[in-house]
């Protein structure tokens, strides 16, 4: 398949690193000069922009947390005057103050370039009709993908999220070939399309999924239901939005746009940079962002970098599918549990639907984990033992994966929540 910008995406490693070093020096200086928070942090740590002589020197600069960014609400992170800002986005404020993101005209160009590469890697071309089912709101998702797809030359349907039956009608009538959505919403859309008996008239061939972590099992389910190539992409508002990285057709990790982002993996406990290939928390530094640089931002996402060459010919480092945000991790009776581990067991199980809900409670000082799934296979109603078999099989597999006893509850179809954006499947009542 095509590569959007082979000069960058397939460049020699030494050339990539030379670009990164030059841009890192610029970005650190820019932040130091124009964003008081970064200036103060560096002064306190006794480090100056001129101390950055190699890429490794970045470790001298202090890490930045989400809490620190929140403290700069709304515009104290801007490194340019507002007249140079042409767009403002914000992340959701559900867990506190929202985080705002400003963009200059050039930032929007950079963003579109990053998305164009990722969307091309995922299979989108100028011949495609792209249905953007992310919400066109303050969130970065819809506008981010929109800019890059437009750059490629896709015919964009900016339908936004919600009103699912209409989504399916448009998808069928307009002949959408590319779908942009969260994996959980895409799955719900497939379910509605099946109910409307419209799935066979749908011409989707590519799915570009992002904005939430998902599992290989979920991908397989989406590919099976729609008959598409489904790739995942990654990004976050704090550093730009989607476009940090994305998978190619080989689906073996997300290629990072390394000329725009410098990725490090740290030990989340100590903050130490870990050697290449080890699993830890992803830390990102923007290399080309004018309006709002981010220096060593702790993403709280757990992943691993891969430097082995990819069959697609791109030389950019890849990051593994994220295992889950470290904030999403549940600690149940002292055991670390990622919802993605539960999803990997549930999706594709015979007899049940792909939707699920996780409920954590505490009774008599003991954590209790309950997983609800929908019973969809009516033939199991012949015998209790069949229902019990389904439940016991899921419970046994969860025990193997999590090393924990989990209560599995079968519920009626269409009774669990469906999501039009990022799924919220965990209810922690502790």
Interface with other proteins by CB under 8 A: which residues? Answer: 375-379, 381-384, 387-388, 391, 409-415
Nearer to Zn ion, 256 or 260 (CB): 256
140: its two tokens: 């970065």
Nearer to other proteins, 270 or 379 (CB): 379
Q: Do 298 and 65 contact (CB within 8 A), yes or no?
A: yes
Q: Do 46 and 306 contact (CB within 8 A), yes or no?
A: no
Residue 271: Cβ-neighbour burial (10 angstroms; 0-12, 13-18, 19+): middle
- Could you say which of Zn ion, other proteins, none residue 310 binds, taking C-beta under 5 to 8 angstroms by partner kind? Zn ion
- Could you say which of other proteins, Zn ion, none residue 379 binds, taking C-beta under 5 to 8 angstroms by partner kind? other proteins
CB of 227 to other proteins, least distance (A): 26
Answer yes or no whether residue 208 interacts with Zn ion by CB under 5 A: no
- Could you say which of other proteins, Zn ion, none residue 410 binds, taking C-beta under 5 to 8 angstroms by partner kind? other proteins
Nearer to Zn ion, 247 or 343 (CB): 247
Angle at 420 between CA 230 and CA 107, to 5 degrees: 70
DSSP for 108-120?
Answer: HHHHHHHHHHHHH
CB of 381 to other proteins, least distance (A): 4
CB of 371 to other proteins, least distance (A): 12
- Could you say which of Zn ion, other proteins, none residue 50 binds, taking C-beta under 5 to 8 angstroms by partner kind? none
CA distances in angstroms from 430 to 333, 361, 369, 424, listed in the order given: 12, 5, 11, 17
- Could you say which of other proteins, Zn ion, none residue 248 binds, taking C-beta under 5 to 8 angstroms by partner kind? Zn ion
CB of 313 to Zn ion, least distance (A): 7
Answer yes or no whether residue 229 interacts with Zn ion by CB under 5 A: no
Answer yes or no whether residue 312 interacts with Zn ion by CB under 5 A: yes
426: its two tokens: 């965990």
CB of 250 to Zn ion, least distance (A): 5
Residues 119 and 231: their CA atoms lie apart, in Å, by: 9
- Could you say which of other proteins, Zn ion, none residue 365 binds, taking C-beta under 5 to 8 angstroms by partner kind? none
Among 69, 202, 213, 248, binds Zn ion (CB under 5 A): 248
- Could you say which of Zn ion, other proteins, none residue 387 binds, taking C-beta under 5 to 8 angstroms by partner kind? other proteins
Buried b (16+ CB within 10 A) or exposed e, 56-85: eebeebbbbebebbbebeeeebbbbeeebb
Among 211, 310, 317, 342, binds Zn ion (CB under 5 A): 310
Q: Do 369 and 406 contact (CB within 8 A), yes or no?
A: yes
Window contacting Zn ion (CB under 5 A); options: 162-170, 217-225, 240-248, 331-339: 240-248
CA distances in angstroms from 7 to 1, 169, 263, 322, listed in the order given: 16, 40, 20, 27
Q: Which residue has the tokens 């995922």?
A: 122
Residues 6+ apart with CB under 8 A from 382: none
Nearer to other proteins, 187 or 375 (CB): 375
Q: Total residues contacting Zn ion (rule CB under 5 A)?
A: 4
CB of 312 to Zn ion, least distance (A): 3
Ranges of H-type helices in 57-198: 66-70, 105-121, 140-152, 164-174, 183-195
CB of 123 to Zn ion, least distance (A): 12
- Could you say which of Zn ion, other proteins, none residue 129 binds, taking C-beta under 5 to 8 angstroms by partner kind? none
Answer yes or no whether residue 256 interacts with Zn ion by CB under 5 A: no
Residue 197: Cβ-neighbour burial (10 angstroms; 0-12, 13-18, 19+): exposed
């Amino acid at each position: 398949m095509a590569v959007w910008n082979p000069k960058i995406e397939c460049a020699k490693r030494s050339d990539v690193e030379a670009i990164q070093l030059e841009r890192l020096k610029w970005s650190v200086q820019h932040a130091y000069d124009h964003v008081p928070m970064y200036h103060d942090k560096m002064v306190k740590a006794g480090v100056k922009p001129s101390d950055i002589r190699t890429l490794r020197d970045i470790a001298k600069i202090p890490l930045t947390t989400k809490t620190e960014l929140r403290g700069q609400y709304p515009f104290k992170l801007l490194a340019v005057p507002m007249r140079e800002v042409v767009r403002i986005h914000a992340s959701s404020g559900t867990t506190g103050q929202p985080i705002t993101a400003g963009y200059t005209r050039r930032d929007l160009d950079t963003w579109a370039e990053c998305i164009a590469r990722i969307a091309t890697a995922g299979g989108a071309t100028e011949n495609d009709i792209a249905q953007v089912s992310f919400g066109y709101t303050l969130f970065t998702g819809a506008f981010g993908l929109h800019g890059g797809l437009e750059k490629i030359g896709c015919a964009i349907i900016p339908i936004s999220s919600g009103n699912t039956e209409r989504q399916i009608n448009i998808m069928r009538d307009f002949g959408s070939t590319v779908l942009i959505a969260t994996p959980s919403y895409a799955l719900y859309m497939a379910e509605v399309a099946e109910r409307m008996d419209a799935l066979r008239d749908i011409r989707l061939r590519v799915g570009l999924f992002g904005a939430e972590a998902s599992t290989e099992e979920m991908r397989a389910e989406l590919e099976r239901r729609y008959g598409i190539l489904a790739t995942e992409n990654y990004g976050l508002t704090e550093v730009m939005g989607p476009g940090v990285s994305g998978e190619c057709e080989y689906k073996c990790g997300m290629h990072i746009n390394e000329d725009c982002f410098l990725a490090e993996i740290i030990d989340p406990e100590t903050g130490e940079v870990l050697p290449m290939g080890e699993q830890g928390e992803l830390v990102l530094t923007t290399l080309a962002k004018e309006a709002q640089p981010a220096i060593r931002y702790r993403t709280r996402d757990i992943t691993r970098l891969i430097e082995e060459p990819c069959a697609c010919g791109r030389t950019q480092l890849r990051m593994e599918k994220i295992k889950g945000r470290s904030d999403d991790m549940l600690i149940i009776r002292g055991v670390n549990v990622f919802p993605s581990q539960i999803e990997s067991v549930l999706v594709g199980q015979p007899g049940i639907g792909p939707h699920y809900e996780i409920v954590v409670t505490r009774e008599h000082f003991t954590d209790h984990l309950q997983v609800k799934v929908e019973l969809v296979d009516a033939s199991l109603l012949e015998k209790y033992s069949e229902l019990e078999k389904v439940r016991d099989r899921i419970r046994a597999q969860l025990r193997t994966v999590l090393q924990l006893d989990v209560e599995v509850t079968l519920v009626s179809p269409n009774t669990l929540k469906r999501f039009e954006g990022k799924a919220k499947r965990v209810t922690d009542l502790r």
